[in-house]
Amino acid sequence: MGIFRYFKVGDIVRDAPNSVWGNKLFEIKNFHGNAYLPLASAYFVGKPKTNTNMVNLDLRKIKLMSAPKRPLKNINEKTLANLIKKGNIEAEREFLIRINNNNK
């Protein structure tokens, strides 16, 4: 599924740095689109989950900031790198979260 595999429903994401939304955080509600234009419907974090607070985000431009379940949160970088080499998706997600939180 390409880029869809790095994101899950409930993840906290941020749009591209130069987007109209600025530094706002979003919670992913669902995915739609296709391989040409993958999209996610998302709610503003901290706002009521209504249609007026929902936006469509391009998955190719958003950054993964956090997730509700992070099983590899307390693992060290060396072990995380070994898991990534073996093709573990959760390890790749944890790596992306760590990079994006360091480069705010």
Find out whether 104 and 96 touch, Cβ atoms under 8 Å.
no
With 0-12 / 13-18 / 19 or more C-beta atoms within 10 angstroms meaning exposed / middle / buried, residue 46 is exposed
- Give me the domains of the chain, ranges plus CATH numbers: 1-68 (2.30.30.750), 69-104 (no CATH)
Task: State which amino acid sits at residue 48.
Answer: P
pTM of the model: 0.87
Q: How many CA within 13 A on the CB side of residue 79?
A: 6
pLDDT tens-digit profile of 55-87? Answer: 999 999 999 999 999 999 999 999 999 999 999
